[in-house]
Each structure stands twice: as structure tokens, then as C-alpha cells.
Structure 1
Amino acid sequence: MGTESKSEWAEKKIFTTGEAAVVCKVSQQTIIRCFDKGQLTGFRVPGSRFRRIPREDLIQFMERNGIPTDPLTGGEPERARVLLLHGDDEFTGDVAAALAGVSVDVSTATSAYVAGLMTAELRPDTVVIDGAMPGVDAAAACRAIRASDSARAAQILITGSDIDRDDARALIQAGADEILTKPDAASLVARIRNHRRAAGD
């Protein structure tokens, strides 16, 4: 059961509950429970109680629950991309270090112009903008991201300790997802990871 290769999973059409558990990286009892509750559809082998799960149903179950389907396609999971437009080198270093072990590529831009070029090239999943960075119009940056073909669906987080309520409202209207008042690296990383889970990454 545990020795199936990715290429063999990619060709398989019908899965046992044990095989589905290996693919989903959960216990077999979890798969059985989801099957019996109707959360994972399939069929029973005629004349027995053995459960079987068609490939399409397993994929739908994985997608609904944010489980990577890469084992079924034979591919490696795509790494998430985070772009930091931030003026605090120590802060960006801490964020990059915290994300290094969770399949996230972190890039840093030192100006709005460079960030625009990098957004088009990298197609980031998350953009973090320092609202207090000199020369950066955070609202304009949000609008540019939302208007782009490369990152219009990206998560946009704005950081800053001097953002008042009116400015925060304007930033949200411009396309920001959340305003973080002087966050530490750990809380910012938590926001990024929560967004990835919600997106099913």
C-alpha cells in the first residue's frame, strides 16, 4: 500500500480506503468515516462491505478539503510565491526565514517600480506592502495589482503602525485584503499560511 509510486497513483482508477489514506496522508479510519458520512463518495464491492473510491470522487474530496492532488498527477507541488515590498530588512529577513521550510518562495522589492516588474514576472500569490515605505503609494500599488493579469487574485497585506481608520478604509477599497498594524514576522507568516490553507494549497 505505502510503496506505490507517484506514477502508479497517476494511472490508478479505483482506490481502496487504505490507498486513499496514503494519498491524502490521513488515517484509514478518517477515510472510512468520511465515506460512511457521505463526505467521500464511492461504492461497496457487491456481496461485501469493502469500500471503493473512484479516482474522480477522490480528487473532488481532496480539492474540497485543501489536500494537494499532486500524488495523483505525478507532479511536485507548486511552491507558493510571496513578494515583499518592505523597507525593513530585518523584518523581511525574519519573514523569509520563517517561510523557508513551508514550500514558499520569498522575493523582496525595494521600490514600487521594481515591485511592479517582479509582480508581472513572478505572479505572486501574496504581496506584502509596507504602508510607511518612502516613495510607495500603497493604495496605488493595490489598484495596480488588482488590475494586472499576473496577480489580480493575490492576497494583499498592508503593514504599518501609523495607518488610521480612513487610510485603512481607502486601502481596503483599493484592493487590500487586510491591514496589519505593526505585525511581527510570526503573525504575518500566520496570515500568509492561513490564506494558503483557505485557498486549498
Structure 2
Amino acid sequence: MPETRPTPLIAGVDEAGRGPLAGPVVCAAVILPANFSALDQLDDSKKLSEKRRAALSAIIRAEARVGVGIAEPVEIDRLNVLHATMAAMVRAVEGLGVIPDEILIDGNRVPAGLSAPARAIVGGDGREACIGAASIIAKTLRDQIMIEAENRFSGYGLAGHKGYPSPSHKAALENLGAAPIHRLSYAPVQQARQARGLWSTT
């Protein structure tokens, strides 16, 4: 009788939120089961509607192994966004609860300190199902965090632009100044603080 080998555990990793002026970077790691029911529906989260992302996120969380790592603004300001993102990716993989056989990461960098062999894939969220699943988890979770943040930091429109540097967000920064959810190391935030006489110490 031929020997049956176990299916290798392949983890896909992606992030959401490197570009915004406010809020965290959210990283997700996902290991899909061999019989994942929505395999043909996975894609880069940016190509999916918000409603479709939410539906797929629920399916992924129900059927797959999911780990999440979050880099808050204070960590982003302390390390810079690249290094904070790399650290959050490591935490996302650790959150899976198992050691994968291989880790596939969207982009062109592999963070140090991962528990398994890893390789970076440019455009991986549209090429590898597990990375596409991770992009959906990361984007959906980050959007929810920013929607909830609107209640704590009103006036900035966070639920709409999700912290990205839209004209309305920049105008709110000029009028209200920076809130604790803002990334003080980002130039538009620094400029708004300086205009109000608050010089950044980062």
C-alpha cells in the first residue's frame, strides 16, 4: 500500500494599512484546508467589494487557521512602518497555533524571526489562494477597527476613509489636530501639528 503523506501546511501572509495616516497596520496569516469551500472566490482583497470581503472573511475564519498581528501607531512611529509591519507579520504567524511547513508572504520582503522557511511573492495576493485569504482577513479586520474608532475619535471621518490621506482627512487634521490614533511620524500629521504649534518629537 503506498505511503500517504500529510498535506503540507502552507501559510499565506499579507498586511493592510501601511499607507494611512491613522490606525494600525493589520497583518494576517492563513492556512487553508485542502477542501476549502470558497477557493475559487479568493482574490486580492482590494478587488472585492466590502460586502464580498465580509462574507469571505467569515468563511475563512470558520474553515481555516487564522492568525493576526497588529502594529499600533506608537509602534509604527517607534520602528517605522516597514519594521513594524514585519514584526506584526511574525506575530500573525505565531498566532496560527501551529508551525507551517512553508510561509508565503505578499510583497518583496521576508521578515526575520519566522518559525518556518518563507519566501516573498510580489502580487501574491492575486496569485496564491492562501495569501489572498490573508489579505481578506487583514483588510476586513482593519476596516472594522477604523469604523469602531470613529466613535472614539469623532470629526475625522475615520469610518469613511479608514485613515487614508483623503482631502477630508487632511482638512480634519488641520482643523482638529492629531489624535492618539494618528501616526505622528507621517509627514502630513507632522505638518498639521506644526501648523498648530505642536512640534513632533518623533
TM-score by length of 1: 0.27
Task: Say which structure, 1 or 2, has more relative contact order (CA 8 Å, 6+ apart).
Answer: 2
Instruction: Find the structure with the greater CA-based Rg.
Output: 1
